[in-house]
Amino acid sequence: MGEALLAASITVGDQPVECGDAAALQAAESRAGGSPLRGGLAEAALAAARVNAHVTRQGDKIMLGEVLTGVAPDLTALNKAVTAEDARTVADAEKRYCPSAQIYSGGVAATVAAAARTNQERD
């Protein structure tokens, strides 16, 4: 799971953190570790999404890559292999809170889904 989230930081790291991203990251963290870590990834993403909701200038927003690379050591603790169920849970969370109700290409849910497909092909 941690590797999939690091991949997301590369593919969409230049996108502002939105509520859908925070929800997807919280779901991913919960699926990998049983619950979101206090002061961890989900908490950082939620704080960033809240700040971004009040920032009008795009260049002043907190980007997804900043959140993910800022907690990179925490991602190594999320070393659970991603399953199809994990991918569905993360996608559902992202869709539930994303304004457009769409999963965007290369985003958190899409990257977790790609990791699940890769893991399934290996089995």
In terms of pLDDT, which residue wins out, 24 or 97? 24
- Is the pLDDT assigned to residue 75 strictly greater than 70? no
pTM of the predicted structure, to 2 decimals: 0.84
Q: Which domain holds residue 117?
A: 2-122
| Vertex 35: Cα angle to 25 and 95 (nearest 5) | 35
CA distance 41 to 45: 6
Q: Examine the pLDDT at 50 and tell me if it is beyond 80.
A: yes
How many domains are there within the chain? 1
Q: What's the CA gap between 26 and 28, in Å, rounded? A: 5
User: Does 83 have pLDDT greater than 60?
Assistant: yes
AA identity, residue 54: H
- pLDDT tens-digit profile of 88-105? 999 999 888 776 656 667
Q: How far is CA 92 from CA 24, 45, 46, 69, 85, in A?
A: 8, 17, 17, 24, 11
Mean pLDDT of 44-66: 93
